[in-house]
């Protein structure tokens, strides 16, 4: 609601329905490609639900968080990233990304080298419980200047931008069709 409200004229009413769907990727994606695939997979799963249940939904949003592993001067750098994929009822779609924050190597090793799910590893690393469902790893690393919710908020803004900012992206028909 926080993300979409500014895009619509004041007084416009809309409903947001949360549906848990599989992403098609592992519990902790470890590449940009997996993150994008997971976000798109969730949005496409919603499209299928809407079709099979004859729902008149306008937008389908998939969110995915995980890791992007890169090499810089021979060193492994691991970034926590949040991705969104939006598809509308005509099949047009766009991705959004919230940027990334570097993980401490000890946490990256626990997740990537030992296979611990990020949600479990961050609880142990930060001596907490249920961190994923509150401020998230983003909150841990930024001392709550950016929370998990904030990261997905920015990813969603970025994903919706091509739909609602025709002046910059051209006509809505220019939104990519994957």
% helix, strand, coil for the chain, step of 5: 40, 20, 35
pLDDT score recorded for residue 177: 52
* 71 SS3 class: strand
User: Given strand 93-102, what is the order of strands in its sheet?
Assistant: 59-72, 75-88, 93-102
> What is the reported pLDDT for 176?
55
Q: Which residue ranges of the chain lie beneath pLDDT 50? A: 173, 178
For the chain, list the domains and their CATH numbers.
5-103+147-163 (3.90.950.10)
Distant-in-sequence, close-in-space partners of 129: CB < 8 Å, separation ≥ 6: 123
Q: Return the pLDDT at 175.
A: 54
What pLDDT is stored for residue 13 in this prediction?
82
């Amino acid at each position: 609601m926080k993300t979409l409200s500014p895009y619509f004229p004041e007084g416009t009413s809309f409903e947001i329905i949360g549906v848990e769907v599989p992403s098609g990727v592992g519990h902790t994606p470890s590449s940009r490609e997996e993150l994008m695939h997971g976000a798109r997979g969730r949005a496409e799963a919603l499209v299928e639900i809407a079709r099979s249940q004859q729902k008149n939904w306008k937008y389908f949003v998939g969110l995915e968080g995980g890791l992007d592993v890169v090499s810089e001067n021979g060193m492994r750098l691991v970034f926590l990233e949040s991705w969104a994929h939006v598809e509308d009822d005509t099949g047009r779609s766009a991705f959004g990304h919230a940027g990334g924050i570097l993980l401490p190597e000890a946490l990256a090793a626990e997740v990537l080298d030992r296979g611990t799910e990020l949600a479990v590893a961050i609880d142990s690393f930060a001596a907490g419980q249920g961190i994923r469902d509150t401020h998230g790893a983003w909150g841990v690393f930024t001392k709550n200047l950016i929370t998990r919710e904030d990261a997905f908020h920015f990813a969603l803004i970025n994903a919706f931008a091509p739909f609602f900012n025709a002046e910059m992206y051209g006509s809505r028909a220019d939104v990519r069709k994957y």
